[in-house]
């Protein structure tokens, strides 16, 4: 942990503890990359306020960055804010209005004077505090009396104040219309996503994330019928392990085994410029961001996937929210591939969540590879302009997953 800056003002410990509580709430629900947006307030030995961060690297004020660095830093800042907003909405839906309101107090445009870059990650200091008190005025030295100048009244001084501000307001309005024109056009008429390998060499690669289903139903054999699936969850799960029908349904190759093999094949076919983020399930209330993996880390990612197990529920909506919060989808293309075997099993509406994401991130496409007979998750792709692939057996799964990731593959079908 390193100290980023300090200031001359002092604040009561109760105020600083309230700020720590907000960050701790974020840390309980998100990976460190989101909570590290806010520097930690600490009181130094001299009683003055200091700001510390767990991020490594040399802190650089926003004003010292070049234009491209500033743009990328603000993109990451907005992604973190988007994730916190989703958390506030989730807490409010659970009846925790006060906690949700506390989190929403963190959402807003950044104060660029208090924004830093540490290893290309955004860091905010002096957040959640009132401005420091002004320094006491120093009385001017005694001067001999001066003659009072005679001022001529200016006609524009008699105008109402809002008339004087009107030109400035018009300039601000024109700037906002220009700044948001691209975003509004995408909302009205979203353009199709073009495969990165078909783009010119100087085009930035899209963000890419995979949501891999690791719920308990992934332990079933890949060839189980819908009737067997229903029987297992209603009756078979309670039978002893040596029950013949139950044992057959849990035999290899399981859905998870086939998914792991198909995931490795997809990585082998991935464009070298594409980084991969992996999201997995760990119950209804704890989706796992396994991290972002570049080309040199793909072997490590394959090994990590081979070690995954399957258990508990299917939080499709929550995992989609987490994946969407880690990609752009507003000013640059983004693709999410969801490999799932059913509908949301955690009492949330994945269709409504995907509709909201489509409005906020019009350049985000979600392709769904569905290895079950349930069609309730297909709305995720339909709402975001993505595609649905249905794989019924082991032979189809790998080819379906490759087709679902064609936008980021090495050899797509270019138009």
pLDDT at position 52? 80
pLDDT at position 155? 56
Of 122-131, 190-199, 344-353, give the range with the top mean pLDDT: 344-353
Residue 132 pLDDT more than 70? no
Q: Place 223 in a pLDDT band, splitting at 50, 70 and 90.
A: confident
Mean pLDDT of 107-116: 86
Which residues does residue 250 pair with via DSSP β-bridges, in sequence order? none
pLDDT at position 72? 87
Q: Domains plus CATH for the chain?
A: 2-124 (no CATH), 197-408 (3.40.50.410)
Question: pLDDT, tens digit, for every residue of 264-305?
Answer: 999 999 999 999 999 999 888 888 999 999 999 999 999 999
Question: What percentage of residues in the chain have a pLDDT greater than 70?
Answer: 87
> Of residues 368 and 18, which shows the higher confidence score?
368
Question: pLDDT, tens digit, for every residue of 7-46?
Answer: 777 777 777 788 888 888 777 776 677 778 888 888 877 7
Give the mean pLDDT of the chain: 83
Q: Place 206 in a pLDDT band, splitting at 50, 70 and 90.
A: very high
Q: Place 186 in a pLDDT band, splitting at 50, 70 and 90.
A: very low
> Of residues 45 and 65, which shows the higher confidence score?
65
pLDDT at position 140? 57
pLDDT at position 144? 60
> Of residues 129 and 198, which shows the higher confidence score?
198
Residue 361 pLDDT more than 90? yes
Residue 189 pLDDT more than 50? no
Give Dmax over CA atoms of the chain in angstroms: 108
- At 155, list the tokens: 């006609």
How far apart are the C-alpha atoms of 256 and 259, rounded to whole Å? 5
Mean pLDDT of 316-332: 93
> Of residues 308 and 142, which shows the higher confidence score?
308
């Amino acid at each position: 942990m390193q100290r980023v800056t300090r200031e001359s003002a002092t604040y009561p410990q109760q105020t600083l503890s309230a700020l720590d509580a907000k960050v701790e709430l974020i840390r309980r629900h998100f990976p460190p990359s989101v909570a590290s947006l806010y520097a930690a307030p600490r009181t130094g030995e001299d009683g003055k306020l200091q700001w510390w961060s767990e991020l490594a690297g040399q802190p650089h004020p926003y004003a010292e960055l070049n234009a491209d660095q500033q743009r990328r830093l603000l993109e990451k800042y907005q992604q973190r804010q988007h994730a916190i907003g989703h958390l506030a909405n989730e807490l409010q839906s659970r009846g925790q209005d006060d906690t949700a309101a506390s989190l929403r107090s963190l959402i807003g445009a950044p104060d660029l004077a208090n924004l830093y870059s540490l290893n290309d990650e955004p860091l905010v200091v002096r957040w959640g505090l009132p401005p420091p008190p002004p320094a006491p005025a120093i009385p001017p030295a005694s001067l001999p009396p001066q003659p009072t100048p005679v001022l001529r009244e200016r006609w524009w001084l008699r105008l109402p104040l809002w008339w004087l501000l009107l030109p400035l307001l018009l300039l601000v309005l024109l700037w906002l219309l220009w700044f948001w024109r691209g975003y509004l056009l995408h909302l009205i008429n979203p353009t199709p996503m073009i495969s990165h390998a078909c783009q010119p060499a100087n085009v930035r690669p899209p963000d890419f994330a995979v949501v891999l289903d690791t719920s308990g139903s992934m332990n079933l054999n890949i060839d189980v019928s819908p009737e067997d699936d229903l029987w297992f969850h209603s009756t078979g799960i309670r039978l002893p392990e040596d029950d013949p029908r139950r044992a057959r349904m849990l035999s290899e190759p399981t859905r998870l085994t086939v998914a792991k093999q198909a995931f490795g094949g997809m990585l082998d076919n991935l464009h070298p410029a594409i980084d991969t983020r992996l999201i997995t399930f760990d119950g209804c209330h704890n989706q796992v961001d396994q991290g972002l993996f570049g080309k040199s880390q793909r072997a490590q990612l394959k090994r990590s996937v081979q070690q995954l197990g399957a258990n508990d529920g299917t939080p499709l909506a929550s995992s989609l929210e987490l994946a969407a919060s880690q990609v752009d989808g507003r000013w640059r293309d983004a693709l999410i591939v969801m490999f799932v075997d059913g509908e949301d099993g955690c009492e949330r509406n994945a269709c409504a969540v995907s509709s909201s994401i489509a409005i906020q991130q019009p350049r985000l496409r979600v392709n769904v590879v569905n290895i079950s007979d349930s069609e309730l998750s297909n709305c995720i792709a339909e709402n975001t302009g993505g595609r649905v692939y249905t794989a019924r057996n082991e032979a189809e799964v790998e080819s379906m997953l490759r087709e679902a990731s064609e936008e980021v593959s090495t050899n797509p079908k270019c138009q």
